[in-house]
Amino acid sequence: MVYKVVIADDETIMRLDISEMLTNAGYDVVAQAKDGIEAVKLCEDYNPDLVIMDVKMPLLDGLSAAKKIISSNYALSVLLLTAYSDKELVKTASEIGAQGYVVKPIDERSLIPAVELAIANGRNYQELDQQLEELKGKLEDRKYIDRAKGLLMSEKQLTEDEAYKTLRTIAMEKRLTMSELSRILIGE
């Protein structure tokens, strides 16, 4: 699988260097941005696996752009680029949900492993997020079904087991999931 990357840096030479390193390593550099605004727009358009984002850029800085990209889910992962080792940045990078950062000057030996790790972490995070959403959905379903069951038990004087079976039978007849039927019955 060829990963799509967007590079954002206000220095042309830096963009060219990184682009060359990534292309040599088999990545597909789909777009390049020279400020934070372009970075956000291009990520929205291309939905890359990774955006490599310089922190200090005009119009909109890299951290703000990264924040927007992460919260809007425009890219799978974000790797920040900084000119110096900054302890504060490490904290900020993880707080906004970036997968990592690299310190300039950049060379292939440090960039490519950081890129691989960022994408792998981004994928893991996405999977966990999906599992969490599914789990939330199941818990929600369970809540609706329990409430519908309670309603049937009190209105029709059914046992819990009878109420459950009644729900299941109606759901099958009406081709609804138990959760859909339950939400109709409880009016939600």
Which of these ranges, 10-18, 69-77, 146-154, 172-180, lies near Mg ion under the rule CB under 5 A?
A: 10-18
Cα separation, 154 vs 86, in Å, equals 63
Residue 10 is a binding residue for Mg ion (CB under 5 A): yes
Question: Which residue has the CB atom at the shortest distance from Mg ion?
Answer: 56
Tokens representing 11 are 């220095």
Rounded to the nearest 10 degrees, how much is the dihedral formed by the CA atoms of 170, 172, 173, 178? 40
Tokens representing 67 are 């924040």
User: Least distance (Å) from Mg ion to the CB of residue 62?
Assistant: 8
Residue 56 is a binding residue for Mg ion (CB under 5 A): yes
Residue 54 is a binding residue for Mg ion (CB under 5 A): yes
Residues contacting Mg ion: total by CB under 5 A: 3
User: Nearest CA to 108 among 10, 182, 32, 27?
Assistant: 27
Which of these ranges, 17-25, 53-61, 94-102, 177-185, lies near Mg ion under the rule CB under 5 A?
A: 53-61
Tokens representing 86 are 């900054």
Interface residue list for Mg ion (CB under 5 A):
10, 54, 56
